Each structure stands twice: as C-alpha cells, then as structure tokens.
C-alpha cells in the first residue's frame, strides 16, 4: 500500500512540475492550435487550386503572411526608438 501512495505522490509531483513549467506557454500553444485549425481549409484550397505538391500550400501561406506582416525598413532602422 505504501508503494502505491509513494507512486501517486511522485506522479502528482511530476504533473505539478509539468503544469508549472508549461503554464507561461499555454496562451501561445492555444493560439497555435486555433490558427492551425482555422487556416487548414485555406491551405487545402491553395493546394488544390494552384496544383501545389505536398507542403507547398503551407509555404505559400507563410510567404503571404510574412510579406503582409513585415516591418517597414524605416521602423527597423529606428529600432532603439521602438520597433514597428
């Protein structure tokens, strides 16, 4: 019986450590899942309509996103004052 209690305490300690370790990253993980699920149909449409090979639809979406969300060169030059 003592062995089971010790194993349960060890398991609880491991779970607690994992929760405490990953707690700061949970919002980032949640948004990653939301974006992945919501953009998957768009990736499928891009792959079918442009006859992309496997993986190229996602690459196309990444290039479009990066070109749309990049900082202007003037903001990068004035970085000490504040980016973007």
Q: Report the chain (84 residues): mean pLDDT per 10 consecutive residues.
A: 91 94 90 87 77 73 68 55 52
Burial grade of 57 (CB within 10 A; 0-12, 13-18, 19 or more): buried
Tell me the whole-structure pTM to 2 decimals.
0.50
CA distance 77 to 28: 28
CA distance 31 to 37: 10
CA distance 43 to 37: 10
Q: Quote the domain boundaries for residue 73.
A: 2-81
Strands (DSSP E) found in 1-84: none
Domain count, the chain: 1
pLDDT at 77: 55
């Amino acid at each position: 019986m003592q062995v089971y209690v010790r194993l349960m305490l060890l398991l609880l300690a491991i779970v607690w450590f994992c929760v405490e370790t990953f707690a700061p990253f949970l919002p980032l993980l949640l948004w990653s899942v939301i974006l992945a699920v919501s953009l998957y149909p768009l990736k499928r449409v891009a792959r079918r309509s442009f006859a992309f090979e496997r993986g190229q639809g996602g690459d196309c979406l990444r290039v479009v996103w990066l070109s749309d969300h990049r900082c202007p060169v003037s903001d990068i030059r004035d970085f000490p004052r504040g980016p973007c």
